[in-house]
């Protein structure tokens, strides 16, 4: 597996991975209506183009296939961190996260924050994040629970 910086040509594959991961990996923590509402975020082309233009993007690849990605916004916010359903528990999220944290440290950030799903919360805790608060996010009329988390660097 290799990790490289992302670019606009990665967007279509990122969107597929985003939706597939939510569908398959998060189904134990969210009901079908919540999954569909969350996945609909892929339809917000303007938001994703902003991600591609403004965020630090890392892409994990294995055998010329995208197996994960992570984005860092404003130098201290982990916006997106997704790993392909067939590559869970292989250390990919940890490697992506560690590279994003290294970038934040190089930018002299004092902390990292993230809004994370129920599914991702144990991973972020294992990386040293603490829950600041539980949140209810309304997406297209559907409530989803997530957590505002923070880590001091």
- Give tens-digit pLDDT for 24-53: 999 999 999 999 999 999 999 999 999 999
pLDDT band of residue 121 (cuts 50, 70, 90) is very high
Residues 66, 3: contact at Cβ < 8 Å? Answer: no
Write the pLDDT tens digit of every residue in 2-16: 999 999 999 999 999
Residues 125, 105: contact at Cβ < 8 Å? Answer: no
pLDDT of 113: 98
CA distance to 7, 12, 120, per residue, from 16 (Å): 15, 6, 19
CA distance to 3, 103, 118, 120, 144, per residue, from 94 (Å): 12, 14, 17, 12, 25
pLDDT of 49: 96
**SS3 call for 64:** coil
Strand 77-83 and strand 142-152: the pairing is unpaired
Write the pLDDT tens digit of every residue in 64-78: 999 999 999 999 999
Q: Give the whole-angstrom CA distance, residue 76 versus residue 74.
A: 6
Domains observed in the chain: 2-110 (3.40.630.30)
β-sheet with 130-139: strand ranges across:
2-5, 56-62, 65-73, 77-83, 111-117, 142-152, 130-139
pLDDT-above-90 percentage for the chain: 99
pLDDT of 146: 97
pLDDT of 137: 95
Write the pLDDT tens digit of every residue in 80-119: 999 999 999 999 999 999 999 999 999 999 999 999 999 9
């Amino acid at each position: 597996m290799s990790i490289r910086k992302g670019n606009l040509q990665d967007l279509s594959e990122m969107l597929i991975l985003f939706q597939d991961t939510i569908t398959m990996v998060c189904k134990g923590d969210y009901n079908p209506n919540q999954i569909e509402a969350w996945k609909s975020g892929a339809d917000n082309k303007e938001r994703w183009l902003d991600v591609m233009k403004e965020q630090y993007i890392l892409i994990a690849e294995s055998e010329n296939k995208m197996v994960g990605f992570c984005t860092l916004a404003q130098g201290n916010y982990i916006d997106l961190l997704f790993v392909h359903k067939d590559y869970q528990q292989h250390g990919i999220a940890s490697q992506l996260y560690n590279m994003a944290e290294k970038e934040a440290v190089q930018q002299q950030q004092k902390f990292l924050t993230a809004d994370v799903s129920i599914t991702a919360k144990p991973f972020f805790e294992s990386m040293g994040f603490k829950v600041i608060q539980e949140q209810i996010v309304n997406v297209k009329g559907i409530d989803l629970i997530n957590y505002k988390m923070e880590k001091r660097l």
